[in-house]
């Protein structure tokens, strides 16, 4: 009897690796189907409608002048970052990540004596829902979601005729600032691991919750390009 128990225990011990493998395989296959990471870059153009606003850069002991912004202004910039994506159903996925965006606005100084350039910066966190309409190598690809901007201090460059260039900083109100995002484009699958997504995007600035006094309505348009790797 003891011998049989010993043999049975030995067989069980030999089966444990197989049991473990059977338990791990479903999770591994799910991970291969579901998870991917991506790096993305998006050239952007932004249209902002300013009510009459006055900004005061930090002087740091220098003689500075206020910055006046009013009406519709255009700015160009770029956004880049990383995202992680999880496919929860055929064709559907959610993604989130972190990135950096910067816009540059230039205007003539009062009296046309030089220019003032404002480089606004922010840490951008996307939370998105994606839909791929087919399993073909080339497929339409759609995205909607929310972008959360956490503003950083802006860089201000003042150039005057026959005077040294001034490099200043401009404090910004604390975030987050909410954007609504929509995109439609295409996804091309190079292999089971790598894919390329290109889609025009439209971002609408919803502003800060509970703080409409400093809201400057804005719309961003861009061309998002991302390369993804699936596990």
Q: Going residue by residue through the chain (231 aa), what tens digit of pLDDT does each one get?
A: 454 455 445 544 555 554 454 444 444 444 445 899 999 999 999 998 888 777 778 777 677 778 777 788 899 999 999 999 999 888 999 999 999 999 998 877 766 678 888 899 999 999 999 999 998 999 999 999 999 999 998 888 888 877 788 888 888 877 789 999 999 999 999 998 999 999 999 999 988 876 555 678 899 999 999 999 998
Report which DSSP code applies to 208: B
> Is cis: bond before 176, omega within 30 of 0?
yes
Residue 171 pLDDT: 85
23 contacts: CB under 8 Å, gap ≥ 6: none
pLDDT at residue 47 in the model: 92
Helix (H, G, I), strand (E, B) or coil at 119: strand
The pairing of beta strand 35-55 with beta strand 218-230: antiparallel
Tell me the whole-structure pTM to 2 decimals. Answer: 0.77
Cα torsion angle, 122, 125, 131, 132, sign = positive
**Buried/exposed 197-207: b ≥16 CB within 10 Å, e otherwise:** bebebebebeb
Asked if 28 and 20 touch (Cβ cutoff 8 Å), the reply is no
Residue 28, pLDDT score: 43
pLDDT, residue 20, reads 55
Q: Could you please state the CATH topology (level 3) that the domain comprising 34-230 is classified under.
A: Porin (2.40.160)
CA pair distance 204, 200, nearest whole angstrom: 14
Instruction: Enter the DSSP assignment of 134.
Output: -
Q: Which helix (H) or strand (E) holds 28?
A: helix 2-34
CB–CB of 168/153 below 8 Å? Answer: no
What distance in Å separates the CA atoms of residue 186 and residue 133, rounded to the nearest whole number? 10
Beta bridge partners of 128: 95, 145
What is the model's pLDDT at position 149? 93
């Amino acid at each position: 009897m003891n011998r049989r128990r010993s043999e049975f225990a030995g067989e069980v011990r030999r089966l444990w690796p197989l049991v473990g493998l059977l338990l791990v395989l479903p999770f591994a296959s799910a991970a291969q189907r579901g998870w991917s990471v991506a790096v993305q870059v998006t050239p952007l153009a932004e249209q902002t409608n300013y009510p009459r606003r006055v900004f005061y850069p930090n002087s740091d002991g220098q003689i500075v002048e206020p910055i006046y912004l009013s009406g519709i202004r255009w700015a160009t910039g770029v956004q880049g970052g990383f995202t992680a994506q999880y496919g929860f159903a055929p064709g559907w996925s959610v993604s989130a990540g972190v990135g950096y965006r910067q816009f540059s606005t230039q205007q003539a100084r009062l009296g046309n004596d030089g220019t003032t350039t404002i480089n606004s910066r922010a840490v951008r966190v996307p939370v998105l829902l994606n839909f791929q309409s087919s399993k073909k190598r080339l497929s339409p690809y759609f995205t909607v979601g929310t972008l959360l901007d956490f503003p950083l201090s802006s860089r201000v460059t003042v150039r005057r005729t026959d005077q040294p260039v001034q490099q200043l900083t401009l404090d910004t109100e604390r975030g987050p600032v909410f954007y609504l995002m929509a995109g439609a484009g295409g996804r091309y699958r190079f292999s089971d691991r790598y894919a390329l997504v290109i889609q025009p995007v439209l971002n609408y600035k919803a502003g800060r919750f509970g703080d409409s006094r400093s809201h400057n309505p804005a719309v961003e348009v861009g061309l998002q390009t991302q390369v993804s790797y699936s596990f």
